[in-house]
């Protein structure tokens, strides 16, 4: 159905249209008893995604990527989204895109501080928070000899989604998205804007960005639901944010930094993260590579920061087999230098033949005091298994 909508009658032929997709069952097991009697220790769901792309010979294209998940426990995790639904036209050094699209900014591994254009899909990626919702936008790009410039007009705001009372991981007090409030009187229809300059100078990649509009990260405030229950109400403030990201490649060494300055509700603050990555190539006489990653994140707000990385160090090992099955393993640990809280993440994946991929993830927390930003999900340690079928 999505593919049919992309093709103009009498214009497209079979060779003009590309289709690809996946179906992915997922199973989660939680290793601790839930804090809410409505929650359970396991969850089963299935997700599907389809991408249809139609290209004209004169630099025009249409892309649509619908996504949907059906969840056994959490009605809010049963959801759908248009990750992409955009038209693009490229000519010479210019490109224009209009519709729903995704943009990624950032270079570090543990946390992407400056990635602000798209809203986080927190029920898909509750801990690492790397999966993003599609964002309505008009994007104009030009590539010149002195760098690439991107301008964004963002006419509609996507609220952050949150797990329901049956969902895990989740905050101990549920978030009621029906009570969402905004600093702007235009609410979701406030027009946001962003600008980015990027260029590479030899082995150094540089990005400078500016964003002004509705902050993607809500302030959660206590409130009463329509049934009189204690809940958290999201409040979305207007912000101004300038940011920088830098990555330098020196042989087997990779140096990364990203940070921002932000003005919100009359207050100015900043956050930064950076580190190094060293890769051992062909370890133990094999074709596999082993990368060592060390990063540090700091937020000037300290423990009052809404983000979990306010004074944290991150250390990880990443092994890539460089085989036909694209086998890889990642294991990392985060320690909060202020509270002593610990977090551990493990992920492994491998292709099975040309049509399947199996991936396993594990998230664990330890020694988390009440004042730490991740305390709400510290009792939601879990193991996750996904098996994707591609077509």
Whole-number Å distance between alpha carbons of 81 and 124: 11
In this prediction, residue 302 carries a pLDDT of 86
Q: Which of 244, 240, 233, 247 is nearest to 215 (CA)?
A: 240
Return d(Cα 65, Cα 67) in angstroms, integer: 7
Whether the pLDDT of residue 9 is over 60: the answer is no
pLDDT digits (tens, 9 = 90+) for 177-214: 999 999 999 999 999 999 999 999 999 999 999 999 99
pLDDT digits (tens, 9 = 90+) for 257-283: 999 999 999 999 999 999 999 999 999
pTM (predicted TM-score): 0.91
Q: Over pLDDT 90: what percentage of the chain?
A: 86
Rounded Cα–Cα distance for residues 38 and 67 (Å): 27
Nearest to 231 by CA among 222, 240, 220: 222
Instruction: State pLDDT tens for residues 280-291.
Output: 999 989 999 999
Give CA 363 to chain center in angstroms: 17
DSSP 237: -
CA dist., res. 360 & res. 347, Å (int): 6
- pLDDT single digits (tens) 326-351: 999 999 999 999 999 999 999 999 99
pLDDT digits (tens, 9 = 90+) for 73-103: 999 999 999 999 999 999 999 999 999 999 9
The band of 306, judged by pLDDT with boundaries at 50, 70 and 90, is confident
Assign 37 a pLDDT band (cuts: 50, 70, 90). Answer: confident
Two tokens, residue 225: 């639901």
Which sequence spans correspond to the domains of the chain? 2-6+17-390
Please name which of 188, 171, 183, 187 lies closest in space to residue 231, comparing C-alpha atoms: 171
Mean pLDDT across the chain: 93
pLDDT at residue 239 is higher than 60: yes
Using 50, 70 and 90 to split pLDDT, how confident is the model at 313? very high
pLDDT at 2 (0 to 100): 38
Domain range 2-6+17-390, its CATH number among 2.40.10, 1.10.3470, 1.10.600, 2.40.160: 2.40.160
Residue 69's contacts (CB-CB under 8 Å, 6 or more residues apart) are 45, 46, 47, 48, 77, 78, 79, 80, 124
* All residues at 6 or more sequence positions from 315 whose CB lies less than 8 Å from its CB, including other chains: 293, 294, 332, 333
């Amino acid at each position: 159905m999505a593919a049919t909508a992309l093709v103009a009658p009498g214009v497209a032929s079979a060779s003009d249209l590309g289709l690809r997709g996946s179906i992915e069952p997922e199973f989660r097991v939680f290793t601790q008893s839930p804090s809410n009697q409505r929650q359970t220790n396991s969850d089963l769901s299935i997700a599907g995604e389809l991408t249809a792309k139609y290209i004209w010979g004169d630099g025009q294209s249409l892309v649509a990527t619908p996504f949907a998940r059906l969840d056994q426990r959490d009605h809010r995790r049963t959801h759908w989204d248009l990750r992409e639904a955009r038209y693009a036209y490229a000519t010479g050094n210019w490109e224009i895109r209009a519709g729903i699209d995704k943009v990624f900014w950032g270079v570090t591994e543990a946390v992407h501080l400056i990635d602000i254009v798209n809203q986080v899909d927190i029920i898909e990626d509750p801990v690492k928070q790397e999966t993003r919702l599609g964002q309505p936008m008009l994007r104009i790009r030009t590539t010149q000899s002195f760098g690439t410039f991107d301008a964004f007009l963002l006419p509609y705001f996507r609220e952050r989604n949150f797990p329901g009372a049956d969902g895990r991981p989740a905050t101990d007090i549920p978030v009621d998205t029906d009570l969402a409030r905004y600093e702007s009187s235009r609410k979701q229809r406030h027009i946001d804007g962003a600008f980015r300059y990027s260029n590479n100078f030899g082995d150094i990649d540089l990005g400078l960005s500016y964003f002004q509009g509705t902050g993607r990260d809500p302030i959660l405030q206590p409130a009463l639901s329509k049934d009189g229950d204690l809940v958290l109400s999201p409040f979305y403030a207007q912000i101004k944010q300038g940011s920088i990201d830098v990555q330098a490649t020196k042989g087997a060494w990779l140096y990364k930094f990203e940070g921002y300055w932000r003005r919100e509700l009359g207050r100015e603050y900043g956050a930064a993260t950076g580190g190094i990555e060293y890769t051992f190539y062909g370890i133990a006489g094999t074709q596999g590579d082993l990368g060592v990653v060390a990063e540090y994140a700091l937020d000037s707000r300290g423990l009052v920061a809404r983000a979990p990385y306010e004074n944290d160090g991150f250390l990880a090992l990443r092994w890539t087999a460089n085989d036909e099955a694209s086998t890889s393993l990642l294991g990392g640990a985060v320690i909060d230098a202020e509270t002593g809280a610990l977090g551990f993440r493990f992920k492994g994946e491998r292709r099975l033949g040309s049509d399947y991929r199996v991936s396993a993830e594990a998230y664990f927390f330890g020694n988390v005091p009440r004042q730490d930003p991740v305390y709400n999900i510290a009792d939601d340690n879990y193991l996750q298994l996904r098996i994707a079928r591609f077509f």
